[in-house]
Amino acid sequence: MNTITTRIRRSLSTISTSQVAMIGAAMAVAVAARLLPHPPNFTPMAAIGLFAGAVCLRPVVAASAIVGAMLISDLFLGFHTLMPIVYGCLLVNLVIGARFVRGANGLQFGAASCGRIIAGSLIGSVLFFLVTNFAHFLAFYPPTMGGLAACYTAAIPFFQFTVSGDLAYTGVMFGSLALISIKSGSFVGTRTFATQSFNAR
């Protein structure tokens, strides 16, 4: 625990004021999006992770922002036994962003990167759906194939909101970054930067 705390403090001490502002804004938007009325699972949590991983934000800082936003909003929404599973699935988006969305030379905007961004968002949505609902099945459904089928069937109507929310917020975040890149003259070809079915996003 001391090691983790030390890493967090070290990461926080090396980030710039603009990064702190960006993290704070992302947390505020995430908390508001979860607390204000919205379709089930239509939140920016997965998109924040994908974006943070893709733009090389320090992993410990990005993870702290995601977990912090979830904890703050869950204080109002209520805690539940599957929180570790939900949080873990959201944090996986950091890895997807870093390993899949971002290219070897950094995030470059173009047709290829747009395809990776969309694919990365969809991968995160599908993983969240499969993993969290399987955990929900283990916790609350009969341990039979019929129970498994019933769990995933009940979750299908909510999956559309997970996908649409992830894609929408991902589009806003990466689109905003692309606009900033255009204005700064570093758009294409240059290195820009080195979620009873389950409903808990």
Label residue 201 by pLDDT band (50, 70, 90): confident
* Report field, pTM of the whole predicted structure over 0.85: no
CA distance to 28, 48, 59, 73, per residue, from 32 (Å) = 6, 14, 23, 8
Domain ranges of the chain: 2-183
Does pLDDT of 195 surpass 50?
Answer: no
Phi, psi dihedrals of residue 103, rounded to the nearest 5°: -80, 175
Q: Which amino acid is at 152?
A: Y
pLDDT score of 189 more than 60 = no
In the chain, the amino acid numbered 54 is: A
50-54, 106-110, 156-160: which is most confident? 156-160
Residue 199, class by beta-carbon neighbours within 10 Å (0-12 exposed, 13-18 middle, 19+ buried)? middle
Q: What is the DSSP string of the chain?
A: -HHHHHHHHHHHHTS-HHHHHHHHHHHHHHHHHHHS--STT--SHHHHHHHHHHTT--HHHHHHHHHHHHHHHHHHH---TTHHHHHHHHHHHHHHIIIIISBTTB---SHHHHHHHHHHHHHHHHHHHHHHHHHHHHHHS-SSHHHHHHHHHHHHHHHHHHHHHHHHHHHHHHHHHHHHHHHTT--SSS-S---------
pLDDT tens-digit series, residues 169-181? 999 999 988 888 7
| CATH top class, domain 2-183 | mainly alpha
pLDDT at 12 over 80: no
pLDDT above 50 (res 199)? yes
160/122 Cα distance (integer angstroms): 11
- Cβ contact 180:18 at 8 Å: no
